[in-house]
Structure 1
Amino acid sequence: MPFRLRPGTETFVFDLDDTLYPRSAGLHGQMLARVWLFIQELTGCTPEEAAALHAHYYETYGTSLVGLQRHHAVKPQDFLTFVHEIDLSVLAENAELRLALEALPGRRLVFTNGSRAHAERVLERLGISDLFEGVCDIAACDYIGKPERAAYDTLVGRHGVAPDRAIMFDDRAVNLAVPHALGMQTVLIGDHGLPETPDAAHVHFHSLALAPVLAQIEPRTPPIPTPKAAQSLHKGPQNKGSSTTDLPQEP
């Protein structure tokens, strides 16, 4: 079934990790290993116990950081700095994705459970940093990430998003439930073998990759001017406590 963009859509909201690039790039594995190592060093547990604790916090709170804050008094910056000591050289510029994003008939935002700094580095590696109007990171959301409703309220409020004129792309079906309830169109990207539900009512469309979906959208004429978008990305509003270090989308 071909993808059909809802008429009147003016804002395109993208998750970052495993959405704007495929999980096969391997960043998820790098970050996950760092999370497990952080938990081991924090608690003195075995690798197996660290993996189990991470899984428990991730499923309970949406990110392991929340669980570590609540139960171990971990400072977010310590965790973020440690986890994002990863190799981004595995990412390369994606000309197909850039062309598809550039042609979209509306503004583009990144909404991530990671940090602004991590998002900016990833976008630079992909060669698309100038195409986004802004980044809503977990620090801007007071470290309350997706899928919590408060995170989406922050996105909508800070960036003036009209949900009934917006669409969200994410690699986790659970992260699309609130956007659907708010009135956004939703697209699930990828297939990670996770217990996701691509046929759930809150998932309007499912695709293994992002670029093919975007290519089906009628392009905007003329294209959105990219210099202004680049300036907005780097100088846009930030939360008072906004982080300049990193957090992975999933760990």
Structure 2
Amino acid sequence: MTADLAHVDTWLFDLDNTLYPAESGFMAEITSRMTDFVQKATGLPRDEAFALQKAYLAEHGLTLKGMMLNHGVDPAEFHAIFHDMSLEALAHDPDLLAGLARLPGRRLIFTNADDVHARRVLERLELTGLFDDVFHIASSGYEPKPSPRAFQAIGAAHAIDPVATAFFEDSERNLAPAAELGMTTVLVGAWAPRSTAPFVHHRTEKLAPFLTGARLREAL
């Protein structure tokens, strides 16, 4: 069914596994490098380092947050491990570009990644010029989604009216605080149709056709 988004004039998009498909495998390399970092920082065997990584992700919404709080990790050192990653797994999607380009109003990236990673990915996808700003993890003072403080931070920075905002995410739980604020939420990914969460308003396996088919407000 066509989504009615005629009330929306601010468009928030997560970055990883949202603006490109999870099936690309790109996040698998990110996860592996993260495990390497946790193993080196803690001295744990790899399987225990991976378990700790996932525990921090579950508790804080971001592995880095747990590493900062419990191990004194410098976020700049952590993020640097991703800055030389190959981007070959990511491909430009002209249909996605067209779908994004038709959205009226502001388009913002809202990511738990850092600014360098976000810039590299957007450039690779050829989407840089379509977004007004990138609200990255340092922008929120290292408060990651789904923390309500992260949503408060982006709301204050961009004077966001939640009722006129749509938020697109591959992580179901990151949509909960958005819906509580009054945003329209869209879960993206192969698993989205199986979601039954009441705070998820729309579900789509693929982002491009959803955007292309959505009902939007008429241009003024």
Identify the TM-score tier after normalising by the shorter chain: over 0.9
Residue type at the aligned position of 2:161: A
1:208 lines up with 2:208 in the alignment: no
Q: Please say which of residues 3-12 and 54-63 is displaced more in the overlay.
A: 3-12
> Partner residue of 1:48?
47
> Partner residue of 2:153?
154
* Contact 1:112 1:137 survives alignment (8 Å): yes
Structure 1 residues 192 and 32 mapped into 2: Cα distance closer, same or farther (>3 Å)?
farther
Residue type at the aligned position of 1:213: F
1:21 lines up with 2:20 in the alignment: yes
Where does structure 1 lack aligned partners over 5 or more consecutive residues?
224-251
The one-character-per-residue Cα deviations of 1:12-62 (angstroms, maximum 9, x if unpaired) are 110000000001112110100001001111122111111111111110110
Q: Report the number of matched residues.
A: 220
Where does structure 2 lack aligned partners over 5 or more consecutive residues?
none
In the superposition, the TM-score normalised over structure 1's length comes to 0.83
> Partner residue of 2:183?
184
Distance (Å, rounded) in 2 between the aligned partners of 1:123 and 1:221: 27
Distance (Å, rounded) in 1 between the aligned partners of 2:173 and 2:206: 18
Distance (Å, rounded) in 1 between the aligned partners of 2:73 and 2:93: 36
The one-character-per-residue Cα deviations of 1:215-251 (angstroms, maximum 9, x if unpaired) are 112467769xxxxxxxxxxxxxxxxxxxxxxxxxxxx
* Contact 1:173 1:197 survives alignment (8 Å): no
> Partner residue of 1:121?
120
In the superposition, the TM-score normalised over structure 2's length comes to 0.94
Shift >6 Å, 4+ stretches = 220-223
> Partner residue of 1:33?
32
Distance (Å, rounded) in 2 between the aligned partners of 1:219 and 1:164: 15
What do you get for the CA RMSD once the two structures are aligned? Answer: 1.9
Q: Please say which of residues 213-222 and 31-40 is displaced more in the overlay.
A: 213-222
Candidates 192, 195, 199, aligned match of 1:198: 195
* Contact 2:6 2:215 survives alignment (8 Å): no
After TM superposition, give the deviation of residue 7 of structure 1 in Å.
Answer: 3.1
Report sequence identity in percent: 37
* Contact 1:103 1:220 survives alignment (8 Å): no
Instruction: Indicate the SS of the match to 1:109.
Output: strand
* Contact 1:116 1:135 survives alignment (8 Å): yes
* Contact 1:16 1:119 survives alignment (8 Å): yes
Residue type at the aligned position of 2:158: H
Structure 1 residues 219 and 162 mapped into 2: Cα distance closer, same or farther (>3 Å)?
closer
Task: Note the 1:238-249 alignment, pairs <5 A.
Answer: none
Residue type at the aligned position of 2:16: D
Instruction: Indicate the SS of the match to 1:16.
Output: coil
Q: Please say which of residues 44-53 and 142-151 is displaced more in the overlay.
A: 44-53
Distance (Å, rounded) in 2 between the aligned partners of 1:136 and 1:5: 26
